[in-house]
A and B are shown apart, each in its own frame.
Chain A
C-alpha cells in the first residue's frame, strides 16, 4: 500500500470528489464508503490542503459531513485551480526539468543530446554523493515531451539534432488581462498558470454570479475545443444520470454552451447514430479522445446556428435533424405605472421571441422554441403578475398550472385568500 501523497496522479477521481464536496456537500463518509474508505480519507485530506479555509464541516444525525463553501464574490481567484496545479511527478522529473532549463538558459544555446548528457552528469549531478542516474533514453524522452509542449525546439543540422529553448513571449505586461480572463474565459486555469509567472497577485477585479465549478471540467472543455478546431469527432465516456452505467459515446462536438445563471455547462454535439444534435452535460463527460476528422463539421455547425434561433437553453427537442418541431409559448404580464422595470426585465432577459404591449398595462412575450419546458423557470420568476399563459405543448402548460397550485398549498394559501 503506497503512502499518502498530497499530489495527484489522476485528476478524474478528485474531480468527482470536488464536485460532490462543493455542489452537494451533505454526504457523510459512509456515503462514499462504497468503493474505498481510504480513498475518501485521502481525497478529503488533499482538498483540505488545496482549499484551506474554504473547507467546512457539519455534524448531523447522519454523521460528520465535510463540504467546500465559497462566496465567489469575495474570492479573488478560483480555488479549484489549485487542484490543477497538483500533478504528481517523480524525483527524476523535477531534477531533470530544472537542470535542462539551466543548461539551455538562453535562446542562443543549442546542444545535442550527448552534450546535454555530459553537462548533466559532469556539471550538475557530480556534486552529489549518490547522484541520480539518467540514461540517454530518459533524457531524450523528456526533450521530446518538451518539444511537443512547445517549450524546447529541436533543430536538425545534417545528421545532428540540436535542442534549444523555445522563444517565449513576455507576458509581464498582461497581469490585469490575465487577472480578469483567468476567471471569465473558458479554460481560465491556463490564465492562472500564466498569472503565476507574473509575480504579482492582481486585486483589481471581483466577480459576481461567478460559477467556479466549471473550472474542474477544464480538461474536458480543452479537449472538446481541440476537436472543434480540428473538425474532429470524439469518443467520450458519458456518466449521464439517465443511464445506470457510464457509456462510451461517439459524437461531433459543435459548440460549448455556458450558463451564467445556473452553473451548468453543456456540449452541443451531433450524434451520428441518431442523426440528431443533442446537448451533453460537460460535468458528466470524461476521457474525451479524438476519433477522426469529419467533413460535415461546418454544415452541422450551420445547422446548430439555425437551431439556436429557436433554442431557449440547451435542449434541442425530439426528432431527427431534418424533422424538428417547434412549440409555441406565450404569456402575458401586468406592469402597472412605476413598474417599468418589469418591461425592461422582459426585454433584457428574453433570449428568443418577441415582447409586445397588448393593453394599457399588459405585455405579452411569445416565442416558438424547440423545447418550451425550458422556459418555465423564467416564467415562474414573474409570478405575481402573470395574467395569461399558453403553451402549444399542453402537458407543459398543465404542469405549469399544477405547479402553481402546489406552491399555493405549500405556503398554506387557500382559494379565495387573494380577495
Chain B
C-alpha cells in the first residue's frame, strides 16, 4: 500500500528531530527549521506541540528523547519491489550503480508491464559503451562541479570544442534523450548528450565562471472550444507548463501557457495538432505563424 503513514513527512520529520536531539541539545528554532524543511506549510502547528505536550510520547518534558537510538526503519517490501523493478530498466546501465541484493523479491512490475507508446524512435542508445562512459563522466562532473572540455558535432556537422561547467542532465521521455545543461559557455547552454563525441576534465588555464544562460520565455493565449472533449485534452496536453485558465462561457475557455522561446516550433506543431478546437488569440506574431502554415497548406491543393 503506497498511502501509508510509514512514508509520511511527519514520521520522517519526527525521526529527524529525535536524531538531532540524540546528537546533542537542539534549540527550538533549529527543531522548527527541521519541521519547515521536511514537512508541510502548516505542520509546525502540529508536530512540535504534539511532541512537547506528550501527545506523542517520544520526548520528555526537558525535550530529551525517550528513544535511545537514531530512528531507522527497514525498507518495506513495496520499496524493495519497486527497486527490483527499476533494476530491470534498460537505462539503469547508465548509472553503473551497485544494487543491494534483492534475491527472492518479485519486482513490482517488469518492463513488459507498461509501454510508453508515443516516445520518438530515435532515442539515445543506452547500450553504447562510449555513451555510457560519457554519461557517467558528466554525472560525476556535475556532482563534483568540475569544469569539463567537450567536443561536439554542431548542426552543420562541424566539430566544436567548448569548456563549461556541467550543471544538470535533462531527460525528455518524449524524445528519449538526455541533454547536458551547461554553465559558463554562452554558445552551448544545452547540448544533446548523443552529440558529444568526447569529454574530459578541463585542466586549462582559463577560469570558467559559472554563468547560466537564463532561458527566454514566451506566453501564448489559446481559446479552446470544448467539442470532442477538447478542453480536457488540451489542458492535460499542456499540463507540464506554467499556465492559467479561465472559463469564457459554457463552451469556450481561455488558457495562457508559458514556454521557452527555443521550443516555439514544437509549440506551433502542438497547437496545430488540435485543429479547429484551439485558436491562438495572442500574441499576434504566433497567430501569423499559424496563418502562414495554413496558407501554405491551402496552396498544397488538398481536395
Contacts and interface: CB of A to CB of B under 8 A. Distances in A.
A binds B: yes
Interface of A: 6-7, 11, 22-27, 45, 48-50, 52, 56, 58, 60, 62, 65, 67, 69-73, 82, 84-89, 91, 93-95, 97-99, 101-102, 105, 124-125, 127-132, 149-151, 165-171, 173-174, 176-177, 180-181, 184-187, 189-191, 193-194, 196, 203-213, 218-219, 222, 225-226, 228-229, 241, 255-264, 308, 311, 313-314, 334, 344, 347-351, 376-378, 380-381, 383-389, 401, 403-404, 406-408, 410-413, 415, 417-419
A165 B73 CA distance: 8
Contacts of A89: 5, 8, 10-11
Nearest to A58: B244
A125 B273 contact: no
Interface in B227-272: 229, 231-233, 235-237, 239-247, 253, 258, 260, 269-270, 272
Contact of B67 (A98, A130, A385): A98
Given A171-B83, A184-B91, 10 more contacts: A97-B5, A205-B168, A213-B239, A225-B113, A258-B114, A261-B174, A263-B237, A334-B300, A377-B274, A387-B300
Nearest to A402: B276
Contacts of A174: 83, 97, 99
Nearest to A150: B77
A99 B110 CA distance: 37
A376 B14 CA distance: 53
A410 B297 contact: no
Contacts of B233: 262
Interface in B2-31: 2-12, 14-15, 18
B76 A151 contact: yes
Interface residues of B, number: 125
Contact of B168 (A129, A203, A388): A203
Given A71-B258, A209-B173, A210-B240, A98 B14 contact: yes
Contact of A189 (B2, B102, B236, B272): B2
B297 A386 contact: yes
A205 B40 contact: no
Interface stretch (B115-123, B125-133, B157-165, B196-204): B115-123
B97 A176 contact: yes
Contact of A98 (B18, B102, B244): B18
Nearest to B269: A381
Given A210-B240, A383-B297, A225 B56 contact: no
Contacts of B4: 87, 149
Contact of B108 (A127, A187, A344): A187
Given A225-B109, A348-B121, A95 B100 contact: no
A87 to B, nearest CB: 4
Given A87-B8, A132-B57, A229-B106, A26 B169 contact: no
A173 B2 contact: no
A331 to B, nearest CB: 9
Contact of B7 (A84, A132, A404, A418): A84
8 shortest interchain CB distances as A-B pairs: A169-B100, A150-B77, A168-B74, A406-B276, A49-B41, A384-B293, A418-B298, A263-B236
B80 interface: yes
B302 A193 contact: no
B188 interface: no
A102 B69 contact: yes
Contacts of B276: 403, 406-407, 410
Nearest to B253: A26
25 contacts: A26-B247, A56-B244, A65-B246, A69-B242, A70-B242, A86-B10, A87-B3, A91-B50, A95-B56, A95-B58, A127-B60, A128-B54, A149-B77, A169-B83, A173-B98, A187-B108, A204-B139, A222-B78, A255-B113, A258-B114, A348-B120, A350-B121, A378-B273, A380-B273, A410-B279
Contact of B41 (A11, A50, A97, A351): A50
Contact of B42 (A49, A180, A210): A49
B172 A204 contact: no
Contacts of B55: 91
Nearest to A6: B42
B67 A169 contact: no
A123 to B, nearest CB: 8
A7 B10 contact: yes
Interface in B129-165: 139, 142-143
Nearest to A334: B300
Contact of A71 (B45, B76, B241, B300): B241
Contacts of B42: 6, 45, 49
A311 B113 CA distance: 17
B283 interface: no
